[in-house]
Structure 1
Amino acid sequence: MNNNLRIRLYYVLLLAVTMWAGLATRHTPDLFPKFISEYGGDILYATFAVFGLRFLWLKPALWKILLAGFIYCVLIEIQQCCQAPWLVQLRNTFPFGLILGYGFLWSDIVCYAAGVLLAWPFCLVGEKIWKSGNARV
């Protein structure tokens, strides 16, 4: 199996785990400490964005992917200031509510920065291990 395929499979696994954990913080908040149930979903949203971008683009430098993930999340947050009726209606559906969010919060931008920082070591170390071929499945 070539390196790119191994790395992409690694990111698929990270995406699945991150999605599961993020949804768990929203759907079963009682299972988590208050801080995690309140901010964990937003932190993991940015982590998920970075993993998704890295899955799609392996060639760019990692710092570019991290920056792009943060910018993507901030732009999604800013669009929440727009309260056009059609957009509000779209946000009130399950999939688009998860993707687009509901209302602008400054704290979410801090969470996105934390989420990008959380993704960074997983990308850095994971890619090093998978590129070297030392990972055992």
Structure 2
Amino acid sequence: MRSRPGYAAAVRRASGLRLRLGYAAALVAVMLLGLASRRFAGALPSFIASHAGDALWAAMVYVGFRVLFVRRSVLFAAVASAAFSAAIECSQLYQAPWINAVRETTLGALVLGHGFLAVDLLRYATGVAAAAGVDLAVKRWSRGAGRS
């Protein structure tokens, strides 16, 4: 039986949309976890309260790259999100009045942060690695579940 022209392309588009929606749901979940880690920091163990927010921020960046580039590899998303996160952290070394005014807004503070901390680079690497690991685990699990 022959498939109709364009059928394979339509299946790829539907699959891409399904993936994109899944990553978008994960993006919202990671954002909520990150905000909760800041809001409820007092109820968390001090180690988690100190490090989770930055790790979750980088994980959110990773998932954001997966939403935007759903067909690219996990490695691409990991490298791109690690580079983006490091660039944002390094941008905190730049302290011009105009960018500091942006950083004083809620959104600006969430996206750009305030001051450079080298330990944040390690937190970001941990968040990206964890997000990529979960991504790979879900891919393996879904492939295995499809065989049943």
Q: Same fold (TM over 0.5)?
A: yes
Q: Return the index of the structure with the highest Cα Rg.
A: 2
Q: CA deviation at 1:4?
A: 1.1
Gaps of 5+ in 1: none
**Following superposition of structure 1 onto structure 2, how do residues 1-137 of structure 1 map, counting pairs within 5 Å?**
2-129=14-141, 134=146
Q: CA deviation at 1:121?
A: 2.1
* Percentage of matched positions with identical amino acids: 33
TM-score (norm 2): 0.83
Letter of the 2:30 partner, please give it. Answer: T
**Size of the alignment, in residue pairs?**
134
Gaps of 5+ in 2: 1-10
Q: CA deviation at 1:130?
A: 5.2
Does the CA-based 8 Å contact 2:16-2:71 persist in structure 1? no
Does the CA-based 8 Å contact 1:7-1:131 persist in structure 2? no
Q: CA RMSD in A?
A: 1.7
**Ranges of 4+ aligned residues in structure 1 off by more than 2 Å:** 125-134
Answer 1 or 2: higher relative contact order, Cα 8 Å, separation at least 6.
1
Distance 1:43 1:85 in 2: 28
Q: CA deviation at 1:76?
A: 0.0
Distance 1:36 1:59 in 2: 33
